[in-house]
Amino acid sequence: MSDDSGIYTIKTPKGDGFEFRVADMQGFDNIEWDENAVNPNDGSKGWHSSEPDILIKNARGMFKNAKLFTSEKEALEESLRISEETFNGYTEYGICLLSIDREF
């Protein structure tokens, strides 16, 4: 597996609580990709965005098959399990959590 591997969890609101989706993947920075944003270097279309609507749109595709949890503790336990079983405890980016203030 490439060195840009990691275990990623997204935290999204659901009713009065939160949902957590856990997945191992590469290229997680694609979650910020906005095809309509303007590249400040050359003015071309396609650049990174931190807008919640862009993040959740991309997250829905990236995490559509991810395991779903309603407990942050259970999500972290799953992240640790994946890390040990899949990566022998090593990933370049480790275990990461991203909160997106939008429902999945």
**Looking at residue 3, what is its pLDDT?**
56
* Model pTM score: 0.88
**Looking at residue 87, what is its pLDDT?**
78
**Looking at residue 2, what is its pLDDT?**
44
**Looking at residue 91, what is its pLDDT?**
82
- In one-letter notation, the amino acid at residue 65 is N
**Looking at residue 37, what is its pLDDT?**
95
Using only C-alpha atoms, the chain has a radius of gyration, in whole angstroms, of: 15
Residue 102 near residue 10, CB atoms below 8 Å: no
Q: Give the mean pLDDT per block of 10 residues along the chain (104 residues).
A: 76 97 92 95 95 97 96 96 86 91 97
30: CB partners within 8 A, 6+ apart: 58, 62
